[in-house]
A and B are shown apart, each in its own frame.
Chain A
Amino acid sequence: MSDNDQQLRVSKIQNGTVIDHIAGGQALNVLAILGIDGTSGDSVSVAMNMPSDRLGHKDVVKVEGRELSQDEVDVLSLIAPAATINIIRDYDVVEKRRVERPSVVEGVLECPNHNCITTEAEPVDSRFAVGDDGVRCEYCDTIIRDDLPAHILAE
């Protein structure tokens, strides 16, 4: 079964973004990191744990009517480093790109150190430097290596 066939398991979208090659089981975390919780009216399709030559199992997310910004794509790389982003206009793929890991992510993750100043009611966003094997709070130096999605800030 080709990747295109797999994507057709959920309906094609007219305009929006298809995020393919998400590691199996991470689709809901991708939605969380994009702040998609179903309340905005976006039409969202999710396919999980589909066979993949590259990943073994993969998830696919289709977001109707929304083209992801480069910042959003960068942040996705933290939990879906192998993902591909397909921008769809009038049912055609007009742009296809891989995610790239950013050097810094701001306002996306909550520092797990409860004594970090970014967890207080101060006018500052969390800021993490992105390394090869984790992220590091630029304020208190706390390193997160595992379970990044658990630290995604709620919208």
Chain B
Amino acid sequence: MRHDHIISAKQLSRGDIETVLDHAADIAADPGAFADRHSDTLLGLLFFEPSTRTKMSFTTAMKRLGGDIVDMGSVESSSVKKGESLADTVRVVEGYTDALVLRHPMEGSAKMASEFVDVPLVNAGDGAGQHPTQTLLDLYTIRENAGFEDLTIGIMGDLKYGRTVHSLAHALTTVDARQHFISPESLQLPRSVRYDLHEAGAGIREHTDLDEILPDLDVLYVTRIQAERFPDESEYREVAGQYQIDADTLDAAKDDLTVMHPLPRVDEIAHDVDETTHAQYFQQAHNGVPVRMALLDLMLGGDQ
């Protein structure tokens, strides 16, 4: 891997992606072979906003590589509460650890933090910005289920504020997927992401109605429409129901459609979908461990 820090999916080449995913597949096939790989390594977890899956999967990944974690804990119990800057916090914690994982509610926080530290830093989500390790486990799941060749994917829900979507769109462009974005007009992709996709020559189309495109999809990636983003609650209620799927919805889909979701879900995927062969979102979450093991191993020099 060429990168000391993993800040954005935009920095990952097709080769980088394949390297991580191949290594993750090796780890998933024989996790015991990697159990003592980084027994002297401490990973610093700096989570400035709540997280369940991401934080636990980084913890699990580091421990399954033989290392350990130190956790800043909640913001309320840290020096942040005393007014310490993010720049100071990361400079202090880098002295305790061999690598850092940062989640922060503000866009650009991971990039800024990386400028103050020498140890590798991984962006575990920066506001509505990027979430590159989520993208890597998404790609792993997509490759396992549908492959990257001749891939048509629909991404539905909150495309404006969903950082997982922004990262994924960049990476799907790198692997030449056809991308369909389904959302209310008020939650379409932000200008910067559209600009990048256009510059990269991505094949994208935008829709307000899933029915227009569902039968063509190999993968449907659903995200939560966040009620709190709407200035008017009635405006939210008007669109929310249109972006929910259930088992009946999927009658119009290909038999081998893969349904994904970064979780947590609320009501955008009905529980009857869980019982279908389409549902891969729990496996997708489980894939976070081997993928993050692979990424940490590569960043910490495990490929040498």
Contacts and interface: CB of A to CB of B under 8 A. Distances in A.
B85 A118 contact: no
Interface in A48-99: none
Contact of A124 (B87, B190, B195): B87
A122 B129 contact: no
B85 A117 contact: no
Nearest to B10: A141
A140 B85 contact: no
B192 A123 contact: no
A113 B128 CA distance: 11
Contacts of A141: 107-108, 129, 190, 192-193
Contacts of B87: 122-124
Interface string B188-222: 00111101000000000000000000000000000
A102 to B, nearest CB: 20
Nearest to B128: A115
A115 B108 CA distance: 9
Interface string B259-293: 00000000000000000000000000000000000
Given A118-B108, A140-B107, A124 B129 contact: no
A13 to B, nearest CB: 41
B67 interface: no
Contact of B191 (A117, A124, A140, A143): A143
Contact of A139 (B108, B128, B191, B195): B108
A121 B85 CA distance: 7
Contacts of B22: none
Interface stretch (B71-79, B109-117, B240-248): B109-117
B192 A117 contact: no
B86 interface: yes
A86 B42 CA distance: 58
Contacts of B195: 143
Interface residues of A, number: 18
A122 B85 contact: yes
B302 interface: no
B252 interface: no
B127 interface: yes
B286 to A, nearest CB: 31
Nearest to A118: B108
A123 B105 CA distance: 18
Interface in B69-128: 85-87, 104-109, 111-112, 115, 126-128
Nearest to B129: A140
B85 A139 contact: no
A139 B127 contact: no
Contacts of B126: 117
A123 B87 CA distance: 7
A118 B109 CA distance: 8
Contact of A115 (B85, B86, B106, B112): B106
A139 B192 contact: no
Interface in A113-155: 113, 115-118, 120-124, 136-143
B24 to A, nearest CB: 27
B106 A116 contact: yes
Given A115-B127, A140-B129, A124 B106 contact: no
A136 B193 CA distance: 12
Interface of A: 113, 115-118, 120-124, 136-143
Shortest 10 CB-CB contacts between residues of A and residues of B: A139-B108, A140-B107, A141-B192, A140-B108, A117-B108, A117-B109, A117-B106, A117-B112, A115-B127, A124-B112
Given A136-B192, A140-B106, 12 more contacts: A113-B107, A115-B105, A117-B104, A117-B126, A120-B85, A120-B106, A122-B86, A123-B85, A124-B112, A138-B111, A141-B192, A143-B195
30 contacts: A113-B107, A115-B106, A115-B127, A115-B128, A116-B106, A116-B107, A117-B86, A117-B104, A117-B107, A117-B112, A118-B108, A118-B112, A121-B85, A122-B85, A122-B112, A123-B85, A123-B87, A124-B87, A136-B192, A139-B108, A139-B111, A140-B106, A140-B107, A140-B129, A141-B129, A141-B192, A141-B193, A142-B192, A143-B192, A143-B195
